[in-house]
Amino acid sequence: MKIHFQRLSLSSKAMARSSLPLYYFSPRRVSSPSSKSFFFVPATLALISTIFILFYIFTTSTLFTSHHHRHTLYLKQPLGSFPSSPLTQNVPSFSLHNNGFKNGTFDLPKRPPLKAVGGGEDATMSQVTSRPHFGSEGNFVNNLEVFHDGDIFLEDYKEMNNSFKIYVYPVKRNDPFAHALLPVDFEPGGNYASESYFKKALMKSHFITKDPTKADLFFLPFSIARLRHDRRIGTGGIQDFIRDYIFNISQKYPYWNRSGGADHFYVACHSIGRSVMAKARELKLNAIQIVCSSSYFLSGYIAHKDASLPQVWPRTGDPPNLASSKRNKLSFFAGSINSPVREKLLKFWRNDSEIAAHYGRLKTPYADELLSSKFCLHVKGFEVNTARIADSLYYGCVPIIIANYYDLPFADILNWKSFSIVVVTVDIPSLKQILRGITSDEYLSLQRNVLKVRKHFQWHVPPIDFDAFYMVMYELWLRRSSARINFSLDPKKLCK
């Protein structure tokens, strides 16, 4: 028998091996106890895994159920304990239950359900603008809060007020350039007043520390607007001034060199504020730029590192008769024709009866035009920024933003979809169709939210809670380093 098995042909062995799968799946083999366990164990594991996966999806997904939660912020101390005015003052976008709060509890309104977006490819959210685009019917989603997350904002705002510290490089009164490094001693004015308002408010605020070891950020106090009008420097000499200033503080103080300027910031509202850093490469690439001309299409501005400063024409108080103003005009624009975008707007709508597009001197007061229009157009000029957004909000007019690549002010905080409309430049010929497609309810929702957010686009002396100064401070607080550098360390040891 042994001899017989040893002489099996190769074909016989191949046939024997090929018959093995037939044996394992034969009725005799499957009916055996060992084969039953062979199939039962993996089948049971697969079933259990499937059940767990379905349970997880059901309990964590919103596909099957719609949840409505009451958002509550729990604070250890009263909300009005900030160094400035009470936190809850002038915040109409939130509601206080029982005419106040109990045990430090602050309730936010429920988020209403979203409306369906109109068909068409343009109705989807744009990754570039993060704001609504319109389809053929002009429908859009607009039932969202004015804040991205109101409870987180309030909680962070409180922490910012209590802990955020900024060190300002000292300047002597007799310094030859003290006028450009110290805050102005008068009420700021003009188209670029935001720069002066911020520095004036910061230097008198509780955020300032004289101990650099306690600082979260370092402020570079030079004023681009003031340097422009200095005959010793002028527009052409600002680059050299900035380069020399950074060199001097890097030689005199250790703070710049230890971070490469990453925990430093400057503020500028004029458009040249971004370009004058050409000879200070570390400042341009590393430092935080708070600028009005915040276009992320240009290489000099880096969104999320830098931040947008709102361009605000100085005004005081609330406009008269805002509630009783009759808005019998569809839209309004007035300005110089200094860009291809504005040329295109005038080309299509110069003589239209509903879209009032003006250039040159107006025959009626500017404020009256804003008060009598439902929508007010912010159209890109030399730069993406103008004061027209703040003008629109101040007078209760819903802003229509036609400025591609504009990183809008406070975009980290405010939900611009809830109080404005962004129209890309290519859609200017369809502007009237877009505006007519907005229903009365949608317009009223937009305008209500305009009145809620306009406080954030106003400057005050001294500043008050939630005004433009505090909103810019919050943007800076978001950009602070998570780990403060230990300035007591020897720089030579850090290099080892």
* pLDDT reported for residue 210: 96
236 close to 202: Cβ distance less than 8 angstroms = no
Cα dihedral sign, 422-427-429-432 = negative
Does the model's pTM come out above 0.95?
Answer: no
At how many degrees (to 10) do helices 468-478 and 193-203 cross? Answer: 80
* pLDDT reported for residue 220: 96
Task: Parse the chain into domains and list their residue ranges.
Answer: 152-308, 324-458
* pLDDT reported for residue 427: 97
Is the pLDDT confidence value at 438 over 50? yes
The pLDDT tens digits of the residues spanning 11-58 come to 444 444 444 444 444 444 444 555 555 556 777 778 888 887 776 665
125 φψ region: left (φ > 0), alpha (ψ -120 to 50), beta (else): beta
397 close to 369: Cβ distance less than 8 angstroms = no
Query: DSSP state, 223?
Result: -
* Cα distance between residue 397 and residue 362, in whole Å: 18
Share the mean pLDDT of the chain: 76
* Cα distance between residue 388 and residue 333, in whole Å: 9
CATH of domain 324-458: 3.40.50.2000
| Mean local confidence (pLDDT), 95-112 | 32
* Cα distance between residue 408 and residue 129, in whole Å: 9
| Mean local confidence (pLDDT), 107-112 | 34
* pLDDT reported for residue 49: 80
Highest mean pLDDT among 84-88, 313-317, 322-326: 313-317
* pLDDT reported for residue 471: 98
Dump strand ranges (E) for 240-283.
264-268
pLDDT tier for residue 481 given thresholds of 50, 70 and 90: confident
- The residue assigned the tokens 């998570």 is 482
* Cα distance between residue 459 and residue 473, in whole Å: 13
Maximum distance among all Cα pairs of the chain, rounded to whole angstroms: 119
Cα dist. 316→293, 312, 313, 457, 458 in Å?
A: 24, 11, 10, 12, 8
254 close to 300: Cβ distance less than 8 angstroms = no
* pLDDT reported for residue 248: 95
